[in-house]
Every structure is written in structure tokens, then in C-alpha cells.
Amino acid sequence: MSRFQQSVDGIGAYVVDQDASLIKLNQNESSRDVPAALKEEIFERLRRTSWNRYPIDGSGALEEKIAAYTGHPVSGILAGNGSNELIQTLFVAACSKGDRVVTARPSFSVYKRVAGLLGVVLDEIPLGLRFAYDADEVIRRAKCARMVILAVPNNPTGTTISEKDLERIARATDGLLVIDEAYQEFQGTNAQSLLSRYENVVILRTMSKAWRLAGARLGYLLGREETARALSKAKLPFSVDVFARTVTEAVLERRDLMDEVVRTVRSERERLFREMEGIPALAPVPSAANFILFEVKNRPARSFFQALRDKGVLVRVYDEPDLRNYLRVTIGDPAENDAFLAAVREIAGGERA
Ligand code: PMP
């Protein structure tokens, strides 16, 4: 007899290949680390921090810096241990067992994982042609849903949805509309203006992608003051430690570092897409994020993945049926992208679609 819930025993482990000896293009991280000089400055700040005291939980210097970056009031900001924690907090705070939450399919796997653990029914609306969002179907199903959660741009497809459609969805549901904007910096637009007009809208962001801080674990949420206050009660106290706070405060002061990542990703995304389009065995999906999903046309995607791995390039492979023929590559630095393209050409060379 298991000591754990069926929902836990029934779920697979969250396994990600993290072999650092490979060219790592499988987790949508920034290929650039925080510069050494800034790390030194952060170490200095950490030396001045009290490690014996609990961190400030709520409106501290971190929240002030997030407010300065986003233009959103501190009272409507909630920081978390990665946006993953805030996703869990939203499900815990808004849903009971058996409640229905609307999302898209395929989308970010953590939504399904958290819903499954809580016994929440995830109503996954299939993306349409070329992985486009089906806004009309989302609206139909959103009516009596407890919550709607959409990644914009979506992971793993890189496809997006217009602000107008998001507004229609916000209007169609009494539940929360959570817009997960983990990749918004790469898209260049966001849905923040909806916050002032719709009290049920919540926006999720992360420092893990454009801001280079996947290792520091810092996500944040923008919403109405009442929403942030309610959600903070469902989150574990002090989940954002002094180290993550200090690192994030310092990095948020260096917008130039984020801009540099975004500039490189945008130009490399365009170049990679064009090059991949020219390879008959592949069909890339246009992306607004820092990755490109691509179809492998004439052999199982998993064998293509393994061939790439054997050549030292790590991309993302999927088990779910929707993505059986697809792989996802994170946009890296130009040299990493060149290595990816060279490996792809060697493997696909001569193969015709
Ligand atoms: N949302 C989406 C859509 C993501 O792709 C990711 C990271 N893969 C996250 C949230 C979680 O990011 P983090 O917990 O690092 O903030």
C-alpha cells in the first residue's frame, strides 16, 4: 500500500536533462550568465545582509524595483520562488478538488502537474492550425471555469494570442484569467493594460529567461491589490530568500543586460528560423519567445533528438502525442546556434522531406 496519494503515485517525475558538458538548448534559459563584475558587487551586498533574520515578506526593496520596471504599483505585486511557485499558489488559492481550469494543449507542463496533484480538472483546449490559439473555443469553455491560464507566448509552441482576444476571454469568465508572460520580453508586447480594466486578470512574469536568473528562482505576479493580498495568504511565508532577493534587486538595476539578451535572441531567432526553413527535413514554427519548436518530417523526433545529443547538442524532446514529431530548441548565442545548425545539417543532410 502506498503512503502517498494516488495523484502523486500516478504522476511522472519532472526530469530534465541537465548535462552541462553539452551545448544546452533545452530549458529556455539565457545562454549568458550575469557578468563577473556584477556578481562581485552582489557578493558585497550579500556580505552586508543579515542571514540570521527572515527576509522581508511583502513590500520590500525587491517589490519597489519590480514596480519601477513594470510601472505596476507595489501593492499589486507578489514575488515568488520562481513563477512555478506562483502557479501553484494560484491553483491552491482559487481551486478545490473537482473544479475546472481552462488552458491550451500543448502548453507548459507545470499547469497539468499542479492541477493533477490537487485533483483539479484541467480542460485543455487543443491549439489549432500551426498551433494557433482557438480564442472562440477558450471563450466558450471559460464561461463556468474556476480559472483560465494561458501562456503568452505559449511554451512550447512560441505562438501567441492578441490582446483583443485576451480581453474577450477576461470578459467571458467570472474566474481568474492568468496570463503567463514568462517570455514577454522576447515578444516585446504584454497584456498589462488589461489589469486596470479587468479585476479578474493576473499576469505572471519571471526573472528566469530574459533577465538571466533561472538559478536564482524569482517569479512575480501583477494584479489588483486585493488579488495580490489574497494570494499572498496561500503562499508559504518567506519563500523568496534573502539571496534571491538581493541578486534580483541588483540585476533589475541593470536593464542593459536584459536588453542585450533580448536583442541577441530576436536577431538569432530570425536567423535560426530562416536557416531551419531552408532545411527540407525540418519545419519550424514561427515564435515570439526565446525558442523555436520544429517538426522533424521524415523520422521519429526522438531519434533526431538522440542524433543531436550524440553530436553534443541538447534540445527538448516530448512524450505527449501532440508533439511526437516535434523538438524544441532554445535560442542560444550565435556560436551555439551555429553548432546546432551544423549538427542538424549533418544529420538531415541528403534527407528529403
Ligand atoms: N511559465 C512558463 C510558460 C514557462 O515556460 C516557465 C519556465 N519554463 C515558467 C512559467 C516557470 O518559470 P520559473 O519558475 O523559472 O519562473
For the record, the C-alpha cell of 237 comes out as 511565508
Task: Return the best residue to mutate from 110, 205, 211 for the ligand 1 pocket (most ligand atoms within 8 A of CB).
Answer: 110
63 in contact with ligand 1, CB cutoff 6 A? no
How far does the centroid of ligand 1 lie from the alpha carbon of residue 151, in Å?
Answer: 9
SS3 content of the chain, % helix, strand, coil (to 5): 45, 15, 40
pTM of the model: 0.97
Q: Where are the alpha helices (DSSP H) in 5-162?
A: 6-9, 36-47, 61-70, 82-94, 109-118, 135-142
How far does the centroid of ligand 1 lie from the alpha carbon of residue 84, in Å?
Answer: 6
DSSP 294-340: EEE-SS-HHHHHHHHHHTTEE-EE--SGGGTTEEEEE---HHHHHHH
Instruction: Write out the chain's pLDDT in tens, 353 residues.
Output: 899 999 999 888 888 888 889 999 999 999 999 999 999 999 999 999 999 999 988 879 999 999 999 999 999 999 999 999 999 999 999 999 999 999 999 999 999 999 999 999 999 999 999 999 999 999 999 999 999 999 999 999 999 999 999 999 999 999 999 999 999 999 999 999 999 999 999 999 999 999 999 999 999 999 999 999 999 999 999 999 999 999 999 999 999 999 999 999 999 999 999 999 999 999 999 999 999 999 999 899 999 999 999 999 999 999 999 999 999 999 999 999 999 999 999 999 855 54
155 in contact with ligand 1, CB cutoff 6 A? yes
Are 98 and 121 in contact, with CB atoms under 8 Å apart? yes
108 in contact with ligand 1, CB cutoff 6 A? yes
How far does the centroid of ligand 1 lie from the alpha carbon of residue 121, in Å?
Answer: 21
305 in contact with ligand 1, CB cutoff 6 A? no
Q: What is the model's pLDDT at position 109?
A: 96
How far does the centroid of ligand 1 lie from the alpha carbon of residue 83, in Å?
Answer: 6
